[in-house]
Chain A
Amino acid sequence: MTALIQLRGINKYFGDYHALRDIDLEIKQGEFFSLLGPSGCGKTTLLRTIAGFEDPSAGTLSIDGRPMAGVPANKRPTNMVFQSYAIFPHLTVAENVGFGLRRDPRSKAEKAGAVKDALEMVGLGGYGARSAHALSGGQRQRVALARALILKPKVLLLDEPLSALDRKMRELMQVELMKLQRQVGITFILVTHDQEEALVMSDRVAVMFDGQIRQMDDPEAIYTRPRSREVAAFIGKMNFLPGTLHSSGEGVEADVAGLGRAMIPPDRVTPGLGSGPAVIGLRPESLAVLFEGETTTRRTVEGTVDEVVYYGDMTYYDVRIAGVDEPLNIAMKNLVGRDVLEVGTATRVAWDERSLVPLAP
């Protein structure tokens, strides 16, 4: 099966500013795809290019096999949920949702029924007659969703749809968006700067920096096997230790500052990274602080607790080890009956070769 959306060599310039650089991308029918990156990385520009609000300076875009060059936004099989939601303030909720149905050949009653169904689908049944400016942020977002989905687009584009919501609402909407996407089977493309949002919801994530896609993978691969230091630092927390890689017939061995030598598991070897100086990444949760009397089969290194940050369910420890300038950040689950260590406590840090993510320096 060919991809629903195909981008080939997309470039975009705003004057001298190179906003998108050689974007190649294929998105399958029914996929939940995220564009993740810091602000200014070009992810919104890419989304707007797909929607038809920006024309690429070079490259081709096709949706469902149809080239989109010269096709204006109102003629594309895409609909968008805007960051500001763009709810028409002079219309009611039902009028907003039914806005795109003007040319729909169905009768007035059928259209009203469709609007009602769409509102029920997003959990706003009975809100139709309300004035749009009397809605809360979460409700606006649902209206924007219903307004786009009622047109049954091939692709739904979501531009930071959750960034304006408070934390609780955001978590709730993440789950609802996933459910909705499975229910309607429409391809979703989400733009976000929130790595958690991207990891939670997506089938695949493209991480963007400086107008380029740096890595495109499923969430687990993005998190556990980042290909570059930038991606590793952007997604979650990561400790970086200087080190050296030695490639040989038996595999890749890393000499990590403060920890010593270890073989990198074959599935963790970053492609294209040979012998020489490297940076070794370690996720905080792949390390462990050993409590008094605790034993482990993993390798350990002596250290001192430098800082304790208590989160309720988790505690983050900064542990200083010999031979490394920066303390190691270690995430520990808080278990019942286990005290939180105090600053200055001497401890041991457990790690193994599966903790190591070799990266280019």
Chain B
Amino acid sequence: MLIAPPLVYALLLLALPLCAVVLFSFWTQDFMEVDTAFTLQNYREIWDSPVYLLLLQRSVFVSGMVTLVTVTLAYPVAYYISFNVAPAKKSMWIFLITIPFWTSYLIRVFLWKVILGYNGVVNSGLVGLGIIDEPLSFLLYNVNAVIITLAHAFAPFAILPIFVALEKIDRSLLEASRDLGEGRIRTFLRVTLPLSMPGLVAAVLIVFIPTIGDYVTPELMGGAGGKLIANMIQTQFLQLNNAPLGAALALVAMVCVTAIALVFIVLNRRWLRRQV
């Protein structure tokens, strides 16, 4: 039998690691050894312990907020580039939007620390202007900081798919809507928004799915109260040497993301059908 090389990569790079994670999640750690007897004990432990569920909840909330903030801010930017920027300058705008990628993600995170820190740009600015007497402490080392940093980091990922979807809209459809009696706002709601929905859905998924698994940002920006499920998975694997429990947590998080993404897609389809 001939197996195409791409299939081999796919198996090696995607299926194999996933199988390993699944397999590990049904094993247990017995001090230094891994006990390979099949058991659901890891899952039972996750279900029984409030800390894992709390972390999972918080992760979903943070990802949801990041997605909301990112996509809400990205849509107007994509709209502006698609509809208001001269065609010859569009690629330059898209290029400018990708400039943050030229620096390492870690450097961008540390820059946010400089901006949001106790003696950071925001605080010293506000104090200097006399708006506040004491630096604000809720800016850094909590969930807000994680959301701000992630939203900034994922903005280009959200702008690009929305921009592409908007670019594909035949401009004569917007004129047709105007011609048929609708003003700008109604035209946006009845034509532009539904037709850009594939891009919006892509943006939501592209932002939501990876942010749930992100652990660098909460590690550096989240402080004690801003840790997420990914930090716990990392702790289990590297610090507590409990790979099976870490694997089970990873799988639970994955199932959650998949379920939420599917519900989102289904709801979106139904909403689109109602938009007449």
A residues in contact (CB < 8 Å) with B: 51-53, 72-75, 78-80, 82-84, 86, 88-91, 95, 99-100, 102-103, 147-148, 151
Contacts and interface: CB of A to CB of B under 8 A. Distances in A.
A102 B181 CA distance: 9
Contact of B180 (A83, A84, A99): A99
B183 A86 contact: no
B99 interface: no
A73 B178 contact: yes
Contacts of B178: 52-53, 72-74
A206 B86 CA distance: 34
B176 interface: yes
Interface string B186-219: 1000110011000000000000000000000000
Contacts of B180: 74, 79, 99-100, 147-148, 151
B45 interface: no
Contact of B182 (A74, A82, A86, A90): A74
Nearest to B276: A95
A74 B173 CA distance: 13
A88 B180 CA distance: 12
A84 B175 CA distance: 12
B176 A86 contact: yes
A99 B177 contact: yes
B106 interface: no
Nearest to B177: A99
B173 A88 contact: yes
A89 B195 contact: yes
B170 interface: yes
Interface residues of B, number: 20
Contact of B173 (A51, A86, A103, A148): A86
B33 interface: no
A52 B176 CA distance: 12
A83 B275 CA distance: 26
Contacts of B183: 72, 74
A90 B195 contact: yes
Interface string B10-23: 00000000000000
Nearest to A92: B276
9 contacts: A53-B178, A74-B179, A74-B181, A80-B176, A82-B176, A84-B172, A86-B170, A86-B173, A151-B181
Nearest to A147: B180
A72 B182 CA distance: 10
A53 B275 CA distance: 26
B179 A84 contact: no
B272 interface: yes
A55 to B, nearest CB: 14
B181 A90 contact: no
Contacts of B182: 74, 100, 102
Interface in B259-276: 272, 275-276
Among A82, A88, A148, chain B packs the most CB atoms within 10 A around the CB of A88
Contact of B172 (A72, A86, A90): A86
A61 to B, nearest CB: 16
